[in-house]
Structure 1
Amino acid sequence: MRPRDLDEFVGQEHLVGEKGPLSRGVARGHLASLLLWGPPGTGKTSLARLLAAAVGAEFATLSAVMSGVAEVRATIAEAQERLTLNGQRTVLLIDEIHRFNKAQQDALLPHVEDGTITLVGATTENPYFEVNSALLSRLRVWRLEPLADEDVAAIVRRALADQERGLAGELGPKGGVELSAEAFDHLVSISGGDARTALNVLEGAAALAEAADRRDGDGRVSPSLTDVEEAAQQRILAYDRAGDGHYDTVSAFIKSLRGNDPDAAVYWLAAMIAAGEDPRFIARRLIISASEDVGNADPRALQVATAAAFALDWIGLPEAQYSLAQAATYIATAPKSDRSGAAYFAAAGDVEAMGSLSVPLHLRTAGDRRMKHHGIGVGYRNPHEFEGADVDQQYLPDELAERHYYRPTDQGYESTISERMARRAAAREAAREAGRTPRNAIPGPEIKRSDVIRKREESRKRLAETQKKDAAG
C-alpha cells in the first residue's frame, strides 16, 4: 500500500503539502541530501522513494543494520558509473542510519560532497545525538510527526477499497473486507500514529475473521472488535526504550511530578511499566525528583522515594508497582521547592569561577597542638556551647563571607526552615550590635618568625641532650 506519487502520500503536510519545502523543491527538480527523522510508520521510506522519482533519480536503498562499508562502496560505485554513463543522479536511502558507526558514516562524506549521491538518511533516533557532526552538517534535517488519526483512517480506508493492492477482491465471494465502525475506530486508535501498525493489525484481523468465517450479508469478511484486539495482542504503546519515545515519556513523567498532577504522573508511570521500562530506572527518577523538585518543602518525599526503591529490590514487579505508584502520587502532591538544587549550582558556579579558596584558619583542624602557634584551629567556637546551639562566626572563605546560596521558600516545611533562619539571623545581628560576639573568628596570636626559630632551636637542643644521655647510659 505504498503511495505511488506525492499526491497519494498521506500526512506530513508541513513538508509535502502544497507549500511544503520538499514538494516545492522537487517541483523545481531540486533535491539536496537530507535526513528524515521521525517515529516508525510515518512514511520515511515511502517519502524518500517518491522524492527520488519526482526528480527523475535512480533510487537505491541500504539498511544500516544489514549493510557495512563494502555494501556502501559497491552502491556508490554503481552510482558513479550511472552518473558517468548517462548523467543520472542516484538517491541513496540509508534506513536506520544511526546504526552506522563513525567510520561507516565518514565513508559517505566525500560522495555526498561531490554529488555522486544524494543521501537520504532515515532514523527514529535523535540525529543530533546519533549522527556524527561532520555528516550531519551536510544534511538538512526534516522532522516527521506521528500521523493524525484522520490520516491513519484514510490509509486504512484505502487498503479496504483498493482492488489492486489492498484487501478488496482478495477475501470473500464478492471480495473485500468490511469493518464495523467500532472495530474501525479501535484499529485507528491503537495505531499510535503508525500506519504500518494499522495495516498489519488490519491484515491480521481479516485473517482471523476469515478463519472463523465471519462475514457480512454481502459475503465480505467482517472482522469483529475482538478480532482487532486479538490481532493487536495488546494496546500498542508508542514507546521505545532506546529511542525518542523513551525520552519523551520519561520527560512527561518527570514534568507531571513537578507540575503537581498525580493523575498524569501515574498514567505515565503505567505507560512506562507496560512498555517494559526497567523499574529501577523509574525508581531512580522518583528519587531524583524527590530532591530536585520537592526538596526541603517536604523532606519525607525523599524517604518515600528511597523506600519505594528498596521495596522494588525486595519484592520486584508486579507487586512493587504499588510502591512506585505511592511514591509518584506522593511526590506529585507534595509542596515544591527547588532551592536546595539552586543553592548547589550557585555554589558550584563560584567554585568554577574562583577556584579553590582557602579554608578560614579557625575552621581548620589542628591535629598537632603546635599548629595552634600558626593560628590554625584558633578561635573556633562550638555552637553547642551557646544559647540556641548557635553562634555567629564565619564559615565561608573570606572572599565569599557575605554570600547567601540557600534561600528557602514559604512552601511546606521549608517555611519552617525559613522562619528558623530568619530568627537566627536576627539574633546574630542583635548580638553583634550589643557587642557580645564579634562576627568573625577571634584572630590567633601574632607570631614572630624569631620566636618560631628560637623554639625550634630549643627543641633541637633538648633532643641532643636526650641522645647524649642515652649514649652514656
Structure 2
Amino acid sequence: MAGPLLWYDYAVSIAPLAERLRPTTLDDVVGQEHLTGPGKPLRRMLETQRLSSFILWGPPGSGKTTLARLMAQGVGRAMVALSAVNAGLKDIKEVVAQAQEQGGLVLFLDEIHRFNKAQQDALLPHVESGLLTLIGATTENPSFEVNPALRSRARVYVLEPLGQEAIQRLLERALHHPQGLPAQAEPEALHLIAQAAMGDARRALSALELAASLGEGQVSVAAAREALGRGTLGFDKGGEHFYDLISALHKSVRGNHVDAALYYLARMLEGGADPLYLARRLARMAVEDVGLADPNALRLAMAAKEAYDFLGSPEGELALAELVVYLALAPKSNSVYVAWHKAQEAAREHPTAPIPLHLRNAPTTLMQQMGYGRGYAYYHDDPEGSFAQRYLPEALEGLELYQATGEGWEERVRERLKTLRARFALGGKTSR
C-alpha cells in the first residue's frame, strides 16, 4: 500500500503538471512559430521592448495564457490577470486605479468574449491612452465577439492547435524536466495521448499525469486509455488522428460513399468529438461540395444543427446522421467554391477598380451632379437597357467567375446562365 500512497501524496502536494512545465522564455514555447519565431510579431515585440495591445484567438491548450505571461515578463511590465467569466465593471475600475498609481500595466483578460459591450467599452479609453496594455484571450471568433472599436486598438493573432509531434515533445519533456513527472512511459502510451489530445497541451499533460498516478509511476497504454476515458478512445482505433478522421468523413461525403461517411461520423461521435463541431464541418460540406447542385443541402445542415441543439445527445445525433446520408447521396458541385476563389483573386488584383458611375449610390446633390447613378436602367422597367449597361469595372469587363455544372439543380440553370451571358454580350438584344 505504501507505493500508491506515496505517489498520491506526491501528485496532490504540488501544482498540476501543466502549470509546473509552463515555459519561462519564448524559446521554450512549443508550437506557434508563426508568432514566436525569428522576425515574427511576438518575438519582435520582445526584441524592441515595445508591447502593444493584442488578442490571442485559439483553441484551449494552445498557449494563450503562457504567451501573455511571457510577453509581460519579457518587457518588464506588471500584469494583472482577470477572467471575463467572473469579472465586471468594478474589477475594471480597480485595475484602472492600480494602473494610474503604477503609471500603467498589462491587463490579461481571459475569455474576453464573455465581456458584454458595456464592459468592453469601459476598457476603450484606457487602452487607447496606453494606460492599459490589453492582452485578450479567446476561443471564439473576435470578429463576432469583440467590439469593433476594441478590435481596432488590438491586433488579433491566431493560435493553432498543437500538432501531434509538438504534443509528443511536450510529453517527453515532462518526463525529463526537473519539475516534471518521476515516471516511466511506454512510447505507445505517449503516442496515444498525443493523438487523443487533439492539439490541447493542457489536456495531454493532464492525461499523462493521471496515467502516471493510475500506473503508480508507470505510464502504460492501459493506464493512458483509462486516463483519457471514453471521450478520446475512438480517435486511436486504427491509428488515425482526429483530423485524419474528419478528413475521411469529408472525402467520403464528397465521394458519394454513404456507408463510409456514416462509419466515420459514428466513429467520431463514439470517440467523443463535439457534435456541434461536426455540424459546422457538415455545413461546410453542404456549401463547398454539394453547393447549388442541391440548394436544400445547406437548409438541411442548418436544420440538423438546430435539431441537435434542441434534442441533445443521443437523440440529436440522428439528425447529424440524416444530414450525412443526405449530403453523401446528393448531387455534387463546387462551382460556387471555385467561383468564390476566383472572385477573391480578382478583388486582390483589382482592389480599386472604379465602379461604373451608373451603379454608384447618389444620396447627395453633389454626387448626382457628378453623374452618380445617372443612366441606370432598372431591370423591371427596362430589361433591354439593363442588359445593355456595364456592371463590372472596365478593367474586368468580360470576366466570368461562375460556371454552372450539369449536376442537380445547376443543370436547370446552366442554359439560363448561357442565355443571360449571351444577352449581355449582345447589349441586351436577343437573337432572332
Instruction: Sort the TM-score into its range (normalised by shorter chain).
Output: 0.5 to 0.7
Q: 1:302 Cα shift? A: 11
Q: 1:267 Cα shift? A: 3.3
Aligned with 2:26: secondary structure?
coil
**Which of the numbers 17, 23, 26 marks the counterpart of 1:3?**
23
Q: Distance in 2 between matches of 1:330 and 1:46?
A: 44
Aligned with 1:66: secondary structure?
coil
Q: Is the 8 A contact 1:37 1:126 kept in 2?
A: yes
Instruction: Give the corresponding residue for 2:229.
Output: 233
Q: Distance in 2 between matches of 1:107 and 1:51?
A: 24
Matched residue type, 1:146: P
Q: 1:231 Cα shift? A: 1.0
Structure 2 residue runs without a partner (length 5+): 1-20, 234-244, 337-358, 360-378, 388-402, 420-432
What are the superposed Cα offsets for residues 264-316 of structure 1, whole Å, 9 maximum, x if unpaired? 6863576468445369978x9599779954339xx9x899999999x99xx99
Matched residue type, 1:295: D
Instruction: Give the corresponding residue for 1:364.
Output: none
| 2:332 pairs with 1:336 | yes
Matched residue type, 2:26: L
Once superposed, what is the RMSD of the aligned Cα atoms?
A: 4.6
Matched residue type, 2:176: A
Q: 1:14 Cα shift? A: 1.1
Q: Distance in 2 between matches of 1:119 and 1:397?
A: 53
Where in structure 2 are the equivalents of 1:117-266 lying within 5 Å?
Answer: 117-163=132-178, 165-167=179-181, 176-210=182-216, 221-236=217-232, 257=253, 263=260
Aligned with 1:67: secondary structure?
coil
Q: Distance in 1 between matches of 2:76 and 2:143?
A: 30
Q: 1:232 Cα shift? A: 1.1
Q: Is the 8 A contact 1:64 1:96 kept in 2?
A: yes
Matched residue type, 1:294: A
Task: Specify whether residues 401 and 266 from structure 1 end up closer, same or farther in structure 2 by C-alpha distance, changes over 3 A only.
Answer: farther
Matched residue type, 1:133: P
| 2:36 pairs with 1:16 | yes
Q: Distance in 1 between matches of 2:22 and 2:139?
A: 19
Q: 1:257 Cα shift? A: 4.7
Instruction: Give the corresponding residue for 1:62.
Output: 82
Instruction: Give the corresponding residue for 2:374.
Output: none
Structure with max Cα Rg: 1
Instruction: Give the corresponding residue for 1:47.
Output: 67
After TM superposition, the structure 1 stretch with the greater mean CA deviation from structure 2, 270-279 or 178-187, is: 270-279
Matched residue type, 1:69: L
Q: Is the 8 A contact 1:287 1:305 kept in 2?
A: no
Instruction: Give the corresponding residue for 1:295.
Output: 294
Q: 1:326 Cα shift? A: 5.8
Aligned with 1:39: secondary structure?
coil
Matched residue type, 1:98: H
User: Given the two structures, how large is their TM-score scaled by the length of structure 2?
Assistant: 0.62
Where in structure 2 are the equivalents of 1:373-412 lying within 5 Å?
Answer: 399-400=382-383, 409-411=405-407
Aligned with 1:19: secondary structure?
coil
Q: Is the 8 A contact 1:37 1:127 kept in 2?
A: yes
Aligned with 2:224: secondary structure?
helix
Q: Distance in 2 between matches of 1:303 and 1:18?
A: 46
Q: 1:193 Cα shift? A: 1.1
Task: Specify whether residues 104 and 400 from structure 1 end up closer, same or farther in structure 2 by C-alpha distance, changes over 3 A only.
Answer: same
What are the superposed Cα offsets for residues 37-80 of structure 1, whole Å, 9 maximum, x if unpaired? 11110111111111111111012100000111111111121111
Aligned with 1:10: secondary structure?
coil
What are the superposed Cα offsets for residues 358-406 of structure 1, whole Å, 9 maximum, x if unpaired? xxxxxxxxxxxxxxxxxxxxxxxxxxxxxxxxxxxxxx966448999xx
Identity of aligned residues (%): 44
Q: Distance in 2 between matches of 1:64 and 1:188?
A: 30
Q: 1:418 Cα shift? A: 8.1
Q: 1:335 Cα shift? A: 2.6
Aligned with 1:62: secondary structure?
strand
Q: Distance in 1 between matches of 2:70 and 2:299?
A: 56
Task: Specify whether residues 280 and 399 from structure 1 end up closer, same or farther in structure 2 by C-alpha distance, changes over 3 A only.
Answer: farther
Instruction: Give the corresponding residue for 2:129.
Output: 114
Q: Distance in 2 between matches of 1:123 and 1:305?
A: 26
Structure 1 residue runs without a partner (length 5+): 84-88, 168-175, 211-220, 238-248, 341-352, 354-395, 426-473
**Which of the numbers 264, 268, 285 marks the counterpart of 1:267?**
264
Q: Is the 8 A contact 2:56 2:157 kept in 1?
A: yes
Instruction: Give the corresponding residue for 2:45.
Output: 25
**Alignment coverage as a number of residue pairs:** 326
Q: Distance in 2 between matches of 1:59 and 1:259?
A: 52
Matched residue type, 1:177: A
Matched residue type, 2:122: A
Q: 1:112 Cα shift? A: 0.9
Q: Distance in 2 between matches of 1:207 and 1:155?
A: 18
Matched residue type, 2:275: E
User: Given the two structures, how large is their TM-score scaled by the length of structure 1?
Assistant: 0.57
Q: Distance in 2 between matches of 1:302 and 1:101?
A: 31
| 2:105 pairs with 1:90 | yes
Q: Is the 8 A contact 1:295 1:339 kept in 2?
A: no
Greater relative contact order (Cα 8 A, min sep 6): structure 1 or 2? 2
Task: Specify whether residues 19 and 324 from structure 1 end up closer, same or farther in structure 2 by C-alpha distance, changes over 3 A only.
Answer: closer
Q: 1:156 Cα shift? A: 1.3
Task: Specify whether residues 21 and 294 from structure 1 end up closer, same or farther in structure 2 by C-alpha distance, changes over 3 A only.
Answer: same
Instruction: Give the corresponding residue for 2:275.
Output: 277
Aligned with 1:107: secondary structure?
helix
Q: 1:120 Cα shift? A: 0.4
